[in-house]
Amino acid sequence: LQMTMKTGKGWVDVGKAALGDGFLVIAINSLEKLYAQLMKRSSGEADIQVHKADVEKDLFKVLSYQAESTCYLSILCYNFGVETYEQKGYEQSSFWLSQSYDIGKMDKKYSPGEEMQAKVLRLLATVYLEWDCEQYQDKALRAISLANEVVTYCDV
Protein backbone atom coordinates (compact mmCIF):
# COMPACT_ATOMS: atom_id res chain seq x y z
CA LEU A 1 0.00 0.00 0.00
CA GLN A 2 2.76 2.44 0.95
CA MET A 3 4.67 1.64 -2.25
CA THR A 4 1.55 2.26 -4.33
CA MET A 5 1.07 5.63 -2.64
CA LYS A 6 4.73 6.61 -3.08
CA THR A 7 4.77 5.49 -6.70
CA GLY A 8 1.63 7.50 -7.45
CA LYS A 9 3.08 10.57 -5.74
CA GLY A 10 6.36 10.10 -7.61
CA TRP A 11 4.62 10.08 -10.97
CA VAL A 12 2.65 13.20 -10.03
CA ASP A 13 5.85 14.95 -8.94
CA VAL A 14 7.55 14.34 -12.30
CA GLY A 15 4.53 15.57 -14.25
CA LYS A 16 3.08 12.20 -15.25
CA ALA A 17 -0.29 12.74 -13.59
CA ALA A 18 -2.14 10.14 -15.64
CA LEU A 19 0.26 7.40 -14.52
CA GLY A 20 0.20 8.67 -10.95
CA ASP A 21 -3.59 8.72 -10.80
CA GLY A 22 -3.73 5.02 -11.69
CA PHE A 23 -1.61 4.17 -8.67
CA LEU A 24 -3.52 6.59 -6.44
CA VAL A 25 -6.85 4.99 -7.39
CA ILE A 26 -5.44 1.58 -6.46
CA ALA A 27 -4.26 3.02 -3.14
CA ILE A 28 -7.69 4.51 -2.40
CA ASN A 29 -9.44 1.22 -3.18
CA SER A 30 -7.03 -0.66 -0.91
CA LEU A 31 -7.47 1.86 1.90
CA GLU A 32 -11.25 1.67 1.61
CA LYS A 33 -11.14 -2.14 1.86
CA LEU A 34 -8.80 -1.98 4.82
CA TYR A 35 -11.01 0.57 6.55
CA ALA A 36 -14.11 -1.58 5.96
CA GLN A 37 -12.34 -4.60 7.49
CA LEU A 38 -11.34 -2.54 10.52
CA MET A 39 -14.91 -1.31 10.94
CA LYS A 40 -16.21 -4.91 10.92
CA ARG A 41 -13.78 -5.88 13.66
CA SER A 42 -14.31 -2.70 15.60
CA SER A 43 -15.26 -3.32 19.18
CA GLY A 44 -13.99 -0.05 20.54
CA GLU A 45 -10.56 -1.47 21.24
CA ALA A 46 -7.89 1.20 21.41
CA ASP A 47 -5.56 -0.55 18.96
CA ILE A 48 -8.30 -0.75 16.31
CA GLN A 49 -8.94 2.98 16.77
CA VAL A 50 -5.24 3.68 16.21
CA HIS A 51 -5.27 1.59 13.01
CA LYS A 52 -8.41 3.36 11.78
CA ALA A 53 -6.73 6.72 12.40
CA ASP A 54 -3.68 5.56 10.41
CA VAL A 55 -5.87 4.48 7.50
CA GLU A 56 -7.73 7.80 7.58
CA LYS A 57 -4.40 9.67 7.57
CA ASP A 58 -3.17 7.67 4.57
CA LEU A 59 -6.45 8.25 2.75
CA PHE A 60 -6.09 11.98 3.32
CA LYS A 61 -2.53 11.83 1.91
CA VAL A 62 -3.67 10.03 -1.23
CA LEU A 63 -6.53 12.47 -1.78
CA SER A 64 -4.04 15.33 -1.43
CA TYR A 65 -1.77 13.72 -4.02
CA GLN A 66 -4.71 13.40 -6.39
CA ALA A 67 -5.52 17.07 -5.93
CA GLU A 68 -1.92 17.97 -6.82
CA SER A 69 -2.21 15.97 -10.02
CA THR A 70 -5.17 18.13 -11.07
CA CYS A 71 -2.83 20.93 -12.12
CA TYR A 72 -0.79 18.54 -14.25
CA LEU A 73 -3.94 17.14 -15.84
CA SER A 74 -5.09 20.63 -16.75
CA ILE A 75 -1.77 21.34 -18.46
CA LEU A 76 -1.79 17.93 -20.16
CA CYS A 77 -5.27 18.60 -21.59
CA TYR A 78 -4.08 22.02 -22.77
CA ASN A 79 -1.12 20.42 -24.55
CA PHE A 80 -3.45 17.94 -26.27
CA GLY A 81 -5.63 20.88 -27.28
CA VAL A 82 -2.66 22.70 -28.81
CA GLU A 83 -1.49 19.58 -30.66
CA THR A 84 -4.89 18.82 -32.14
CA TYR A 85 -5.37 22.50 -33.04
CA GLU A 86 -2.08 22.50 -34.94
CA GLN A 87 -3.29 19.42 -36.83
CA LYS A 88 -6.57 21.23 -37.59
CA GLY A 89 -8.54 18.79 -35.43
CA TYR A 90 -10.84 21.51 -34.19
CA GLU A 91 -13.46 19.30 -32.59
CA GLN A 92 -10.86 17.36 -30.59
CA SER A 93 -9.01 20.56 -29.76
CA SER A 94 -12.15 22.22 -28.40
CA PHE A 95 -12.80 19.13 -26.27
CA TRP A 96 -9.29 19.10 -24.75
CA LEU A 97 -9.19 22.85 -24.18
CA SER A 98 -12.62 22.76 -22.52
CA GLN A 99 -11.41 19.92 -20.28
CA SER A 100 -8.31 21.92 -19.38
CA TYR A 101 -10.38 24.95 -18.43
CA ASP A 102 -12.92 22.91 -16.44
CA ILE A 103 -10.20 21.06 -14.51
CA GLY A 104 -8.40 24.32 -13.80
CA LYS A 105 -11.47 26.04 -12.40
CA MET A 106 -12.49 23.12 -10.14
CA ASP A 107 -10.09 24.08 -7.39
CA LYS A 108 -8.16 27.35 -7.44
CA LYS A 109 -5.55 25.93 -5.07
CA TYR A 110 -4.41 23.37 -7.65
CA SER A 111 -5.19 25.41 -10.76
CA PRO A 112 -2.34 26.15 -13.17
CA GLY A 113 -3.12 29.84 -12.57
CA GLU A 114 -5.49 32.50 -13.82
CA GLU A 115 -3.19 33.59 -16.65
CA MET A 116 -3.03 30.01 -17.93
CA GLN A 117 -6.83 29.78 -17.71
CA ALA A 118 -7.11 32.94 -19.82
CA LYS A 119 -4.62 31.50 -22.33
CA VAL A 120 -6.71 28.31 -22.61
CA LEU A 121 -9.88 30.33 -23.20
CA ARG A 122 -8.27 32.52 -25.88
CA LEU A 123 -7.04 29.49 -27.78
CA LEU A 124 -10.47 27.89 -27.40
CA ALA A 125 -12.03 31.00 -28.96
CA THR A 126 -9.55 30.81 -31.85
CA VAL A 127 -10.40 27.13 -32.35
CA TYR A 128 -14.13 27.93 -32.50
CA LEU A 129 -13.59 30.71 -35.04
CA GLU A 130 -11.34 28.64 -37.29
CA TRP A 131 -13.58 25.59 -37.00
CA ASP A 132 -16.78 27.32 -38.14
CA CYS A 133 -17.00 31.03 -37.52
CA GLU A 134 -20.74 31.30 -38.13
CA GLN A 135 -21.76 28.28 -36.08
CA TYR A 136 -19.44 28.85 -33.11
CA GLN A 137 -19.24 32.64 -33.00
CA ASP A 138 -21.24 32.86 -29.77
CA LYS A 139 -19.07 30.25 -28.06
CA ALA A 140 -15.93 32.09 -29.17
CA LEU A 141 -17.26 35.38 -27.81
CA ARG A 142 -18.18 33.71 -24.52
CA ALA A 143 -14.69 32.22 -24.23
CA ILE A 144 -13.04 35.62 -24.89
CA SER A 145 -15.36 37.29 -22.41
CA LEU A 146 -14.43 34.72 -19.75
CA ALA A 147 -10.73 35.16 -20.55
CA ASN A 148 -11.05 38.92 -20.12
CA GLU A 149 -12.85 38.45 -16.80
CA VAL A 150 -10.08 36.17 -15.60
CA VAL A 151 -7.37 38.67 -16.57
CA THR A 152 -9.28 41.64 -15.12
CA TYR A 153 -9.76 39.69 -11.90
CA CYS A 154 -6.00 38.95 -11.77
CA ASP A 155 -5.03 42.59 -12.30
CA VAL A 156 -7.22 43.90 -9.46
pLDDT string in tens for the chain (156-residue length): 889 999 998 988 888 878 888 898 899 889 888 888 877 776 666 667 777 778 888 887 887 787 777 777 788 889 899 999 999 999 999 999 999 999 888 867 667 788 999 999 999 999 999 999 999 999 999 999 999 987 665 444
- Number of domains into which the chain is organized: 1
Q: Could you list the residue range(s) of the whole structural domain that residue 148 is in?
A: 2-155
From the list 142, 123, 111, 114, the residue with the least C-alpha distance to 79 is 123
- The pTM score is 0.62
Q: In this structure, what CATH number is given to the domain that contains residue 23?
A: 1.25.40
Say if residues 103 and 125 touch (Cβ distance below 8 Å).
Answer: no
